[in-house]
Amino acid sequence: MLQKKPLILVTNDDGITAPGIRMLIRIMNEIGDVVVVAPDKPQSAMGHAITINDALYCDPIIIEKNALQKEYSCSGTPVDCVKMATRQILNRKPDLCVSGINHGSNSAINVIYSGTMSAAVEAGIEGIPAIGFSLLDYSIDANFEPATTYVKTIVENVLLNGLPKGVILNVNIPRLEKKEIKGIKICRQADAHWAEKFDKRTNPMGREYYWLSGEFINEDKGEDTDEWALQNGYISIVPTQFDLTAHYFIKELNNWTLHD
Amino acid sequence: MLQKKPLILVTNDDGITAPGIRMLIRIMNEIGDVVVVAPDKPQSAMGHAITINDALYCDPIIIEKNALQKEYSCSGTPVDCVKMATRQILNRKPDLCVSGINHGSNSAINVIYSGTMSAAVEAGIEGIPAIGFSLLDYSIDANFEPATTYVKTIVENVLLNGLPKGVILNVNIPRLEKKEIKGIKICRQADAHWAEKFDKRTNPMGREYYWLSGEFINEDKGEDTDEWALQNGYISIVPTQFDLTAHYFIKELNNWTLHD
């Protein structure tokens, strides 16, 4: 299908040794020349954080013997990894950046907290076609096998069709056996949020501290949402953008009494 | 103008002692009942990061004698501060959340890296009208005085008109004397990006490390952008959203061969 081997940058937010990225590397090795630049430790929920007040380390690392891919372990955030890859490590702009496969959902509002998706978004900002993949299973022994053919199909479509400037794909995969997955649905981001609770505790020195926890609340029942797709056995793809302007509200704002 | 005193949550990403937030608190004290929940240290460029694998501390703090406001210093990110405020500290949903005044620009793509704006976005996700304010001056002795009447005007407009669900305001203020500021412009986010450079050094142990630096590149010459407004002496307001769906691309994606 493709004439020459594409250069594929692989990253994630669960860290370079996470089973999800190891699977993604294996799939990408079937498609292109793979370079991995990923965090040296878990960096979940880091959003679009970058490291501006600390030094960054980024070293070559061998995780698999006789591996096809080149790998670099980076002390920074997922977004740092993408910047480091494109500006320091790679000799040319990659043809694709894939991030994940994340252990856990990045559907709905989770896209904004997600290090996995922020890495893909950063690649998109740099003009690289990019996809974030997430499986709805947090566990270390999550089964990524049912997702593999779908991941390959989506990647091949992006390499073939390209993506418009400013658009990346947010792919979420339900925790199902392969035969239970009904297919792929193109969706919008569900209008859901977290209802946080803070678990208040006292440390051995007598000082109070808190753990963030919470419940995911989805009151958006739209059948065009990623949440609906995932709950109904589909893989969801949300085209995602980083122009955050609420264009529709500009006209209304111009009617406010903000001017002298 | 307003019947009862609004409850205003104030936060930032430069830390609770930064001159920018101290000025914002002073302005907000003229408008409502103020509660401050802000980071105990600088948290710039933290994006929408949240703390999920660490304990959070959040303690009352007195910074000014006989202050009108109540203040809490939090060990977490700007987004953590907003969650902590709304879920743990405040008895009721605030009428407004203001974040800043940031030392440095959050125009164009900076919105996505900004802890200041991410705090405002988080408040928006929780259904609270929210505004992020930033001054285009990084220095500790930045002059926030010229901005004060504009900040007040914008806040009063938001309290009066409200904001639609899913929209927050990103306000950037040029580094000018008051008489040089031409007014306020409603804008879209300029399509600009950073061209990063990594400064490679060697630590005393002989290990190579990097500092992230870079140059801001704006090739978007649109006169409807925040960059244009700021360069031409205006305060920019970009209505900003957290539905990241690229709705316009859904139809096109449905034409891809993603289905069996």
Q: Report chain A residues whose CB lies below 8 A from the CB of B155.
A: none
| Three-class DSSP category at A52 | coil
**How far is the alpha carbon of A29 from chain B, nearest alpha carbon, in Å?**
21
CA gap B170, A159 in Å, rounded:
35
Side by side, the strands of the sheet bearing B70-74 are B58-60, B70-74, B33-39, B7-11, B96-103, B130-135, B167-173, B234-241, B183-186
User: By the CB < 8 Å criterion, does A2 face chain B?
Assistant: no
CA angle A136, A139, A144 (to 5 degrees): 60
Q: Do A47 and B44 touch (CB under 8 A)?
A: no
Assess whether pLDDT exceeds 90 at residue A232: yes
- The pLDDT of A60-66, averaged and rounded, is 96
User: By the CB < 8 Å criterion, does A243 face chain B?
Assistant: yes
Q: State the pLDDT confidence band at A259, using cuts at 50, 70 and 90.
A: confident
In this structure, what token pair is assigned to residue A14?
A: 């669960």
Q: Report chain B residues whose CB lies below 8 A from the CB of A167.
A: 246, 249
Residue B259, pLDDT score: 73
- Structural contact between residues A216 and A239, judged by C-beta atoms closer than 8 angstroms: no
- The pLDDT of A172-201, averaged and rounded, is 96
Q: Do B45 and A52 touch (CB under 8 A)?
A: yes
Q: Report chain A residues whose CB lies below 8 A from the CB of B187.
A: 250
Q: State the pLDDT confidence band at B69, using cuts at 50, 70 and 90.
A: very high
Between the alpha carbon of residue B251 and those of residues A163, A227, A239, A253, B258, the distances in Å are 13, 19, 10, 29, 13
Q: Do A246 and B254 touch (CB under 8 A)?
A: no
User: By the CB < 8 Å criterion, does A138 face chain B?
Assistant: no
Under 8 Å CB-to-CB from B66, ≥6 apart: which residues? none
Q: A48, A90, A182, A217: best mutation site toward chain B, by most B Cβ within 10 Å? A: A48
How much is the mean pLDDT over chain A? 96
Assess whether pLDDT exceeds 60 at residue A9: yes
Q: Do B207 and A57 touch (CB under 8 A)?
A: yes
Residue B34, pLDDT score: 98
Assess whether pLDDT exceeds 90 at residue B3: no
**How far is the alpha carbon of A48 from chain B, nearest alpha carbon, in Å?**
5
CA gap A214, B251 in Å, rounded:
34
Residue B256, pLDDT score: 96
Q: A43, A249, A255, A259: best mutation site toward chain B, by most B Cβ within 10 Å? A: A249
User: By the CB < 8 Å criterion, does B258 face chain A?
Assistant: yes
CA gap B113, A144 in Å, rounded:
31
Q: Is A157 annotated as a binding residue?
A: no
User: By the CB < 8 Å criterion, does A15 face chain B?
Assistant: no
B82-109 per-position pLDDT tens digit:
999 999 999 999 999 999 999 999 999 9
User: By the CB < 8 Å criterion, does B167 face chain A?
Assistant: yes
Q: Which of residues 79-108 of A touch B (CB under 8 A)?
A: 79-80, 83-84, 87-88
**How far is the alpha carbon of B69 from chain A, nearest alpha carbon, in Å?**
22
Q: Report chain B residues whose CB lies below 8 A from the CB of A166.
A: 191, 246
Residue B64, pLDDT score: 95
CA gap B146, B174 in Å, rounded:
10
A195-208 per-position pLDDT tens digit:
999 999 999 999 99
How much is the mean pLDDT over chain B? 96
What ipTM, to 2 d.p.?
A: 0.94
Q: Provide the percentage of residues in chain A whose pLDDT is more than 70.
A: 98
B191-236 per-position pLDDT tens digit:
999 999 999 999 999 999 999 999 999 999 999 999 999 999 999 9
Higher-confidence position of B59 and A4: B59
For every residue of B45-98, DSSP letters joined together read T-TT---SSS-B-EEE---STT-SSEEEEESS-HHHHHHHIIIII-SS--SEEE
Residue A50, pLDDT score: 95
Q: Is A110 annotated as a binding residue?
A: no
Residue A4, pLDDT score: 83
Domains in chain B (CATH in brackets) are 7-253 (3.40.1210.10)
Task: Please tell me the total number of residues recorded for chain A in this structure.
Answer: 260
- The pLDDT of A13-20, averaged and rounded, is 97
Assess whether pLDDT exceeds 90 at residue B6: yes
Residue A260, pLDDT score: 57
- The pLDDT of B59-70, averaged and rounded, is 96
| Three-class DSSP category at A247 | helix
Assess whether pLDDT exceeds 60 at residue A153: yes
Q: State the pLDDT confidence band at A3, using cuts at 50, 70 and 90.
A: low
User: By the CB < 8 Å criterion, does B147 face chain A?
Assistant: no
User: By the CB < 8 Å criterion, does B177 face chain A?
Assistant: no
Q: Is B260 annotated as a binding residue?
A: no
Q: B185, B244, B249, B254: best mutation site toward chain A, by most A Cβ within 10 Å? A: B244
Assess whether pLDDT exceeds 90 at residue B141: yes
User: By the CB < 8 Å criterion, does B19 face chain A?
Assistant: no
Phi and psi angles of residue A165, each rounded to the nearest 5 degrees, phi first: -50, 130
Q: Do A189 and B48 touch (CB under 8 A)?
A: no
Q: Is A59 annotated as a binding residue?
A: no
Q: State the pLDDT confidence band at A1, using cuts at 50, 70 and 90.
A: low
